[in-house]
Copies of this chain bind each other. A is one copy, B any other.
Amino acid sequence: MQKETTIYDIADKLGISATTVSRGLNNNPRINKNTREKIHKTAEEMGYQHNTLASNLRKRQTKTIGILLHEVNSNFVTSVLAGIEKVVTKEHYDILITHSAESGEREIANATNLLNKRVDGIIVSLAMSTKNIDHFTPYFERKIPIVFFDRVMNDADCTKIIINNFSCGYNATKHLIEQGCKKIAHITADLTRNVYNDRFLGYKKALKDHQLTYKKDLIKICSLDKAATIEATRELLIQKPDAFFVTNDFAAAVCIEVIHEHGLRVPEDIAVIGFNNDTLGDLITPKLSTVDYPGILMGEVAATELMKKIKLKNSNKKFADQTMTIPSELVIRESSLKSQKKKS
């Protein structure tokens, strides 16, 4: 393996210390101009590969931000990514993405790796199985800016960009109740994740406010993959629900398929509403009612906050952590319009 020229080789060649070479290469005024020029000339002659990163480390900036994602395969996450890219590329920052595939363990490894790559800041959405945010302590200690989005720790004291999952869950359920539904099933995921728990609490509150009793038997918590969703839907159908509130659009589409396989109609027999407003929603039959999740805006806000924090940090200023809530709204299509179908 052909050896790379190091500052030690340049030092030997010039008969000076590697420290002097290193300082010379970084134009440290403590090294006199002639020596500096000699060092640069020799470095060039010897084909020295200047290590941008190492020099950036000295400047303590890499012009790179890290993004820790819990998944990549959803329109929501790609929209967030697009929003982030729009903002940071304008500021000439590179982006390194890591993927936890919902594994807390992987997330910890990714956080450490990005720290070693000395990113200037990170944007984080927590994995399904993440139990706490201790693995970000080194970032907090070194004052490396962090912005959490969507999947956050409600109690953690840091900058968070979220939607109001409670009111979204409340409004989705209220809409189903207004359609005449009285027995509303809910398919969701691990309630230790804020987004799912808040939607669930909104669902419960809506039932309560409309004098409907909450029944454990109408709730299924699963991984939301196809097999798990099919099983959850089948088990819930035994309870004869007249509506399903499903916590993402893919699972809602699978749920509708299973309902059809049981010879039942959507929305006439069972109304269905999803969550996220993924592109698949208006490609299925009936078109899926859902909750719009403004991913691009969320990404833009997260990135703008991070850029602010980085600039403040570089000018030794403090930044105040805050929670910002992005507006989101119901998107009513065919799958939930039970009352109108009955009229017609």
The residues of A with any CB-CB pair to B shorter than 8 Å are: 1-2, 4, 8, 11, 17-19, 22, 51-54, 57, 60, 64, 71-75, 77-78, 81-82, 85, 89, 94-99, 101, 106, 109-110, 113, 116-118, 143, 226, 250, 253-254, 257, 279-280, 282-285, 313-314, 316
Expressed in whole angstroms, the Cα–Cα distance for A57 and B117 within the complex equals 12
Expressed in whole angstroms, the Cα–Cα distance for A18 and B96 within the complex equals 32
Q: Provide the residues of chain B in CB contact with A313, threshold 8 Å.
A: 1
Are B99 and A98 closer than 8 Å at their CB atoms?
no
Q: Provide the residues of chain B in CB contact with A283, threshold 8 Å.
A: 250, 253-254, 257, 280, 284
Query: A98 with B97: in contact, given A1-B316, A253-B283 (CB under 8 Å)?
Result: yes
Query: A94 with B73: in contact, given A17-B17, A57-B51 (CB under 8 Å)?
Result: no
9 extra A-B contacts, CB within 8 A, seeds A1-B314, A72-B81: A11-B19, A17-B19, A64-B117, A72-B72, A72-B73, A73-B78, A94-B110, A97-B99, A250-B279
Q: Provide the residues of chain B in CB contact with A282, threshold 8 Å.
A: 257
Are A96 and B98 closer than 8 Å at their CB atoms?
yes
Are B94 and A97 closer than 8 Å at their CB atoms?
no
Contact of A57 among B54, B113, B143 (CB under 8 A): B54
Expressed in whole angstroms, the Cα–Cα distance for A257 and B286 within the complex equals 12
Are A94 and B72 closer than 8 Å at their CB atoms?
no
Label chain A's interface by main secondary structure.
helix
Q: How many copies does the complex hold?
A: 2
**10 A-B pairs with least C-beta separation:** A73-B78, A97-B97, A94-B113, A18-B19, A72-B72, A253-B283, A285-B285, A52-B116, A96-B96, A1-B316
Q: Provide the residues of chain B in CB contact with A284, threshold 8 Å.
A: 283-285
Of chain B, the residue at the smallest CB distance from A285 is B285
Q: Provide the residues of chain B in CB contact with A316, threshold 8 Å.
A: 1
Expressed in whole angstroms, the Cα–Cα distance for A56 and B283 within the complex equals 49
Expressed in whole angstroms, the Cα–Cα distance for A253 and B53 within the complex equals 45
Query: A118 with B53: in contact, given A89-B106, A99-B81 (CB under 8 Å)?
Result: yes
Expressed in whole angstroms, the Cα–Cα distance for A280 and B143 within the complex equals 43
Expressed in whole angstroms, the Cα–Cα distance for A250 and B75 within the complex equals 12
Expressed in whole angstroms, the Cα–Cα distance for A94 and B106 within the complex equals 9
Expressed in whole angstroms, the Cα–Cα distance for A283 and B284 within the complex equals 7
Expressed in whole angstroms, the Cα–Cα distance for A54 and B284 within the complex equals 52
Expressed in whole angstroms, the Cα–Cα distance for A75 and B284 within the complex equals 17
Q: Provide the residues of chain B in CB contact with A19, threshold 8 Å.
A: 8, 11, 17-19
Contact of A4 among B60, B73, B95, B285 (CB under 8 A): B60
Expressed in whole angstroms, the Cα–Cα distance for A57 and B53 within the complex equals 10
